[in-house]
A and B are shown apart, each in its own frame.
Chain A
């Protein structure tokens, strides 16, 4: 019952979402492709809807992946400093005034991607020096990296001019305002690749969710599978953060919400987590557009405002669904 309500409610918001915003759209006009309403619908609202959906899916699925691979409920690309790495990369690009396209992708996106990639390589390198029971230490490494990146970002703020700083501040709040179809297509492909990789290794993941030893004993090359899945997830996050900026909380809370509603093995939660992550971010985006102040509310603020209280409620209620 609760499950049906959950899916119905969020699917309804998904369908409603493209009709909500600064301009009210007339459904009749949308079919007329030459109208302004149709232009807004097809070139702004629809790509944005899909972008938010794929972005939410990537964030939630990466969160579940990190939590399972490290067997720790706090592990997400966000808490490990990978998002911060991407933000710092973007900061550097903005400071250097790189706004041109490189290989058809914006330099800012590319630098975000490289920031995430560099952070993952650094984490993997550093984790070799940790003892076998490394989850807590790795989390601490991630936190240390995040703090380091924050400090480095402060240096960029200090050195930047006001236009650059304004751009950077906006970016660090996270935003889903994209124009046209390039970003949703790119992120859509990334989301499908990520889902494909996770699906291909779903049973390895199930074994790793028991313990690293259990997986080894059944013949899983734990190092290879862990690196591969972490790599794919981190690069997906890098590509996403390069476009949208950091969007917190989704990767942390969505896997937990789905586990509350579906207390099953991780293998059965993969698709549901990705799907619900997408729907959740679309709903948050819709809210950010409804609660218009001067301009729309940055999405990262909305996810945190909704996510944190809901998460706290779920933890203290301990109700079985």
Chain B
């Protein structure tokens, strides 16, 4: 459960999010135009950027938690894997999800390695165990990030545009995994992908003009989408002509 109280975020002088209060019981799918502040919201919850207001996760103010305790609660999956140490293998990368549980200065335990291997198995990417990260495709990279989040065993997973760089086939694979994860984990899904949002069973939040608006399945009515996104939608989806 994530509770935001009067959350305000600035980027330099610009106000990105203003006075947002919300309560995510379990799942939430968050939509909004480019620059509406979806990623900012996610990054604030993860503690990556400063904010005014209060963020409470499972009864704990996240600013009072240590970084490792926070990592045990929340995992964040970015849209794109950016990595400098490109020769790290998939297994080593996924194993990093155990960092919050590891004793300082010591190596990862055998149990940690088992958990990492199980995550790879679960996502059907065990055959890539020793592949270096820079050799993975966008779809495989997204799976690598999910595997790392699963290894982290945090109950809340935040997906930041997971299908933004993927072709339809890989989008489908990721969508199915997210749906499956909903049974065990609490998922905050941020996306532009209306197909994906429709497929995932969760309340909808839409950020517009720094404010958050809630919707149910009626969100996907063409009239509503047309109004929110300010472009024409019909029963088939977005109209390009």
Contacts and interface: CB of A to CB of B under 8 A. Distances in A.
A283 interface: no
Contact of B71 (A71, A211, A217, A259): A217
A265 interface: yes
Name the interface size band of chain B: 20 to 34
B99 A259 contact: no
A219 interface: yes
Name the interface size band of chain A: 20 to 34
Interface string A210-228: 1101101111110000000
B70 interface: yes
B99 A219 contact: yes
Given A213-B78, A263-B132, A265-B92, A219 B85 contact: no
Contacts, number: 75
A210 B46 contact: no
B17 interface: no
Contact of B102 (A203, A216, A259, A266): A203
B46 A217 contact: yes
B32 interface: no
Interface in B65-114: 66-72, 74-76, 78, 82-85, 87-89, 92-93, 96-97, 99-100, 102, 105, 107-108
B152 interface: yes
A203 B66 CA distance: 18
B48 interface: yes
B41 to A, nearest CB: 15
B84 A68 contact: yes
B80 to A, nearest CB: 11
6 contacts: A206-B88, A209-B84, A217-B71, A218-B97, A220-B99, A265-B88
A213 B78 CA distance: 10
Contacts of A213: 48, 78
A162 interface: no
A200 interface: yes
B87 A203 contact: no
